[in-house]
Every structure is written in structure tokens, then in C-alpha cells.
Amino acid sequence: MAFWWVNQKQTWRHEIPGEYLWSPKLDKGGRHLEYYDNMARLAPGDIVFSYVQGLIKFVGVVVRPAETSRRPDFGFAATTQWNDDGWSVEMRYMPIEYLRPQDHLDFYRTVAPERHAPMNPDGIVISQYLFSIPDSLGAFYLALGGISEGEVMDLVTFDRPLDSLVGDTEEVGTDPGLTSTERRQLVRARVGQGLFKEEVRIVEPACRLTGLSEPRHLIASHMKPWSQSTNAERLDGNNGLLLSPHVDHLFDRGLITFDRVGHVVTSPKLNPAVPKLWKLDLGVSGRKFRKGQIPYPEHHQDEVFLSA
């Protein structure tokens, strides 16, 4: 096992929920850089600290060695300066107690490598991607973050293989036009998790019926069903609602839907005892859908909702 430091800047919004690391293989001049070549040195079980917005906010563990993968669509213009041909590494992440490395420079200076270190002796972070750090520094950061090596390793130990998550995504696994990173994102989107869930949270921060906003207890449900969506629609946050599990049950089966202003519409096939026993207020005031969302609830009303 080895320890690493990754600077994720804006890419963390995709890499953390998407459970991967990505870098180009070469810089724009066609040259190898230590900070990109390190991707091919990552091994399963290695621990990676994510430096995000001036803090170490996440810790992750490598699941599989690097694979060739084209550049993901990170959603901001700066990434177009990177080569398309790159490395992708499958990861599992967990949040860590926020840690500001500059607050612990005395220890850092005693153990930091002389070359290719993530910070200089004054605490200025080097603007590159992936750095190897000494075991002593990795153990130190884990202790400061209030987490053990075993807890990080459990991210993999208790993780189910992606292929076992769903039974109807064979077309994703066999599509030659998809990278392994894209396949993982799509499979997790099918069960309302991963990057899709984070994209949905941007436009739908809480369940429309229960008001619950704790993401651990909510499912990102597709409004336009998976089987009828393109791959782009399957990952589009506008195509999702964050719903409590029992609300998702009703929505997915077409027993309730939402009109364009967000009001609940109830199917005549819904047993009236169900919302009563579940203490659901189906008359709750609606919240208007955004312009980009509108086609999806309309599709749900027309194709999924049991109107008769």
C-alpha cells in the first residue's frame, strides 16, 4: 500500500461522486510528466488524499489499476486544454474531517520528499495533479482526519461489484463507444447513485413530498425511464427527482406524477389507503420545474403515469 495526494480543483465535482481519477497521459507538448505518469503507478489498495479548495476533504482507495480512457466532460472550458488520451483509475471515496495541510508544516518539512512534493516548504501547493507522499505523512494525515486505514479499506471490502447492482444494463457494458468510467457512471445512475445523484441534487435538493434533504436516505429517480432514455439523458440531472424511497415506489410505478408547476397528480389506480398509512400529503404545494426539467415530467405524465 502506498499513499498519494491529488489536486482536484474543479474536477472534484465529477471525480468524487463519479468514483474515479483522471489525467491526460501527456502534456500538450507531448511530454511525460511525473504527475501524470503516477496514475499508472497506482495499485489497488493505495490510499489517496483529495486536496479540494484549500483543504484535504476526502480520502479514497484505489480499486483497479489505471486504464486508458478519453477525457471526461468535466463541464468547464479549462479542461479542453488537456489531451483527450488519458488514464482513468476507479476509486472509492469517503469524506474526512477537513484538514488544512499548511497548519502542520513542521512535520511536513521533516518527511516531505525533496523532489515532486505536493507543497514547497512554505506551504504553497504545487499546481500539478498526482503526488506520491511518504507512508509517515499518509499515516499522519489519516490520524488528523480521524480515520483509520481499515475504515478506508472497508470502502472496497463492502462494495458490491457494479455488475451486480442492476440486471438491465447489458447495453452499457457492451457499448464499445463508452469508456470504463462512463460505464460505471451509467450503471450507478441506473440505481440512483453516483454522479447522477449529485447532478440531481443541484436542481432537486429535497424530496418534493416529504421535504427530506438528507441524501443518504433519498433515491435519485429518473423521470424519463432508463429504458427510454439516451445515455446523455440517463446522466442528466434535469431528468431526476430526489425522492424518499416510498415516494419513489409510487412515482416509479406511475401511481403519482407531477405537473409542470410541481403539483402532485394521483392515479385512480392508487389505493387511497396507501398515502394515508404512509402519512403522505398529496396536496402539498408544488414547486415549479425549471425550464431544462420540463420535458422530463411531461414524458412521465404521458408515458409512465397510470391515468386510467
pLDDT per position in the chain (308 positions), as tens? 899 999 998 899 889 988 999 999 999 889 999 999 999 999 999 999 999 999 999 999 999 999 999 998 887 766 667 888 999 999 999 888 899 999 999 999 999 999 999 999 999 999 999 999 999 999 999 999 988 898 888 887 655 444 444 455 666 766 777 877 787 788 778 878 788 998 999 999 999 999 999 988 899 999 999 889 999 999 999 999 999 999 999 999 999 999 989 999 999 999 999 999 999 999 888 899 999 999 999 999 999 999 97
Residue 79 included in any domain: yes
Which of 159, 178, 207 terminates a domain? The answer is 159
Q: For residues 151 and 254, state if they share a domain.
A: no
For residue 133, tell me if it sits in a domain: yes
246 is in which domain, residue-wise? Answer: 194-304
Q: Are residues 135 and 225 in the same domain?
A: no
Say whether both 9 and 72 belong to one domain.
yes
> Taking the CB of residue 99, how many other CB atoms lie within 10 A of it?
20
How far apart, in whole angstroms, are the C-alpha atoms of residue 303 and residue 308? 12
Residue 180 lies in a domain: no
Residue 176 lies in a domain: no
Looking up residue 33, the CATH number of its domain turns out to be 3.10.590.10
183 assigned to some structural domain? no
- The beta-carbon contacts of 180-183 under 8 Å, at least 24 apart in sequence, are 180/67, 180/69, 180/88, 180/90, 181/18, 181/20, 181/22, 181/69, 181/72, 181/88, 181/90, 182/72, 182/231
Q: Are residues 205 and 297 in the same domain?
A: yes
